[in-house]
Structures are given as structure tokens and as C-alpha cells.
Chains A and B, each alone.
Chain A
Amino acid sequence: MSERALYVYGVVPGTAPRSLFDDVRGVDPSEPVTLVADGDVAAVASAVRLDEFGEAAIEDNLRDPGWLADKARAHDAVLAAAVGRTTVLPFRFGAIYRNEDHILELLRERADFASALRRLEGAVELGVKGFVDVGALAERLAADRSAGEETSAGRAYMQRKQEARRLDEDVELFVAERAQETHDRLAAVARDAHVNALQPGERRMILNGAYLVADDEEARFRDELADVARAHEQDRIDYELNGPWPPYNFAGDEDQA
């Protein structure tokens, strides 16, 4: 039997019942999720084996994308079990402690955990991604532009090339303005907002935003997004809402590397 340690997912208020986590398993699926409480806050933890999560083992495992995907999913599933039922302050993947005493030491040292929980109370994180059909938008902008111009049959090659470049620039400017407008409108109905790096993919992303939305503002937030989406439909831009997530983006120290 391998030596064991405790993997910590995040913290919840000290009053949160352990039963919140009855239906989920830890990053080691043979282990239940437990709470290590110290006054106002409790760490959400589960046992892990050092031959899987110890320093030497984890270095190897991290190079295995399948392992990493499974564990990241399990980490999220544990925190997600508490979303909407209590407040959660998520930790980044990979916080592992030798035993309960060391977790209690951490909780005592970090008075800011309790204040972070108060800041996040009664809110969830929602994600919004915006995508544009660049080709269709460019055609539309080009059509708008040429509508007023006379078409000369003998336009020089260089001139056409220049116009194409100008059109690309216009498209970029256009989608950047739309994305900013959307973010500003959503941020106005959120408690906090964060713009993340765009993700590459088959569809061209123009916005990747995270919003901390108060529970009683969620309907308004969805309405606002639906409203923006309707207005941008003609620009060949569409939006996807995801979540609710544990508030990963609002844990408070995303500037730390």
C-alpha cells in the first residue's frame, strides 16, 4: 500500500455540510471527498496515493494527456458539486498536502480565504464566447461598400489588392468593436468580469469572457446576452453561454503565475 497525502480542491464556508460531496469521487476515484474544517472555512479534500501524486509520479503523469484530462475533469466535478449550494473558492489543480495538520496550518495562515468566500457569496461564474463567420461578414461589408460606388471594369490588380487589405482591416476593427460592446454590456450586469485569451479552433473566436453573476441577476444576464446576440446576428456573430462554473476566474490571484 502506497503512502497517502491529501489533494485539496478549494475551500468552502465552515458551515457547508460534507454531504454536498456525497455524489462525487476524488481525483483518485476510489476515494471519497472530505472536509477539513477550521472555523470559518473548510478545505475540500480527498486522499491520493503518493505513487500517483507524489513528486516523482506526478512529473510522469503530467506528461500523459489522458491522465491529466481525467484528473482535471475530476477536480472540476468535485467543485461543481457545490456550485449553487454553497460558496466555493477554487484552487488551481495540484495542491497536495501531507496530512490534515498541514491543511489546517494553511487555513490558519490564509485569512484571505474567508474574505474571498464572502466576496463570491451568492454568485456563479458564467462563460460567454463569441464567434464570427469572417467570410460572410467580409462579403457583407464589401457589398455595403460597393453599393455606393460605380464598378469600373478595368480596375487595376494593385487597386483590388489594396481594397482587399483594407477590407480585412475593416473586418478586424468591426469584430473588435462588437466584442468590446458585448463584453461591456455583460460586465454591466455582472458583479465582476474578466476577458480571457481567445481560443484557437475551427470557428473564429472574437470574445472569451468570464462573468461573476449574482444568483438573482442570472436571468437578467441571460436576457442581456440574448439581446446582444439578436442585434449581432446580421453581422454573422453568434454567442455561446457556458457554466455555471465554480468561480475559477474570480479566485483573486489570477495575476500570479
Chain B
Amino acid sequence: MTNGSTALQHEVTLVELVDRVLNKGVTLTGDITLSVANVDLVYVGLRLLLASVGTLERLEADAS
């Protein structure tokens, strides 16, 4: 019971984090995914990140 509710709390926190860190904040210059060889800003494909969220929750739940 204790383990169960702790795991749940942990999972919620991670969802919260992903919601904010990956989904919010100032988005710079938009969407350039660039070749490191010639450019400065590597901007991360948001869709790719969000697609991982479901997997992430399961992984965290399994780990705890």
C-alpha cells in the first residue's frame, strides 16, 4: 500500500515535469534541427519527446 502510493506520487511528479520542461518555456528560433558541423542551435523535436512520455511513465513505474 505504502509502496503503491509512493510510486504513484513519483509518477505524477514526472508527468508534471515533462509537461513543463518539455512542453513549455521559451521556444527558441523554432524547430531548427541542425547539423552540428555548421550551426549553433540544436533544437529538439518536440514531437519526438512527447511520443516518449508514455514509455517514460511505464518505465518509471516499473523501476519503483
A, B bound:
yes
B-side contacts of A254, CB under 8 Å: 24
With an 8 A cutoff between CB atoms, is A169 at the interface? no
Bitwise interface map of A from 206 to 219 toward B, beta carbon under 8 Å scored 1, else 0: 00000000000000
A-side contacts of B1, CB under 8 Å: none
Contact B49 A98 (CB under 8 A): no
Q: In whole angstroms, how far apart are the Cα atoms of A62 and B34 in the complex?
A: 15
Q: Contact check: which of B8, B15, B35, B56 meets A68 at CB < 8 Å?
A: B56
Chain B interface: which of A50-58, A177-185, A224-232? Answer: A50-58
Q: Which of B1-56 contact A (CB under 8 A)?
A: 8, 12, 14-28, 30, 33-36, 39-46, 48-49, 52, 55-56
- 9 chain-A/chain-B pairs, Cβ below 8 angstroms: A65-B59, A68-B56, A89-B26, A90-B20, A90-B25, A92-B24, A97-B41, A98-B40, A102-B41
Q: A5-B36, A69-B59, A76-B20 are in contact. List 18 more A-B contacts (CB 8 A).
A: A59-B48, A62-B52, A65-B55, A65-B59, A68-B22, A68-B52, A69-B17, A72-B17, A72-B18, A92-B27, A98-B39, A113-B26, A199-B12, A202-B8, A248-B24, A253-B26, A254-B24, A256-B27
Which A residues contact B (CB, under 8 angstroms)?
A: 5, 10, 50, 53-56, 58-59, 62-63, 65-66, 68-69, 72-73, 75-76, 89-98, 102, 106, 113, 116, 127, 196, 199, 201-202, 242, 245, 248-249, 251-254, 256-257
